[in-house]
Copies of this chain bind each other. A is one copy, B any other.
Amino acid sequence: MRQALTSISLRTVGPNLYEFTDQVTRWTRSTGIHRGLLTIYIRHTSASLLIQENADPDVRTDLQAFLRRLIPEGDPLYIHTLEGPDDMPAHVKCALSATSLSIPVDDGLPTLGAWQGIYLWEHRRSPHTRKVVLHLLGE
């Protein structure tokens, strides 16, 4: 049994779903670990992680639209407004989505379903560099 750990940086340019499945898959292969547990962890509180359909891009468009309506900017409820109108909604979106993902690995690959992609879910408007930790434990 052994483990591998790396940190990757992902550039974002506004609220969206950024797929990085290939990067995760390539790194998993590169470790030589063929069976084990993969953990993906994002080191931020205004961007999150998501496993979602990677077939029809309309799914991501609709998901963004739904969240924007459910957790709108400029909500008079908020007192934390210093960092911009998109900051507090970003924190709420993070609280309702995932900071870490756990995916078993078999035959050297994450056991993703046929339509599943791994996404960084950016909730802020301005460009960011997001740090994501990948950890794999297995043999």
Contact = CB atoms under 8 A, between A and B. Distances in A.
B58 A111 contact: no
B103 A88 contact: no
Q: Is the interface of A mostly helix, strand, loop or mixed?
A: mixed
Interface stretch (A8-16, A18-26, A45-53): A45-53
A41 B111 contact: yes
Residue of A94, A99, A112 with most chain B CB atoms under a 10 A cut-off: A99
Interface in A53-107: 53, 56, 58-59, 61-63, 65-67, 69-71, 75, 77-80, 82, 88, 91-92, 94-104, 106
A69 B77 contact: yes
Copies in the complex: 3
B91 A53 contact: yes
B96 A96 contact: yes
Nearest to A71: B66
A37 B2 CA distance: 12
A125 interface: no
**Which residue, of A7, A104, A116, has the highest number of chain B Cβ atoms within 10 A?**
A104
A96 B51 CA distance: 11
A35 B3 contact: yes
A113 to B, nearest CB: 3
Given A45-B51, A111-B43, A135-B37, A100 B97 contact: no
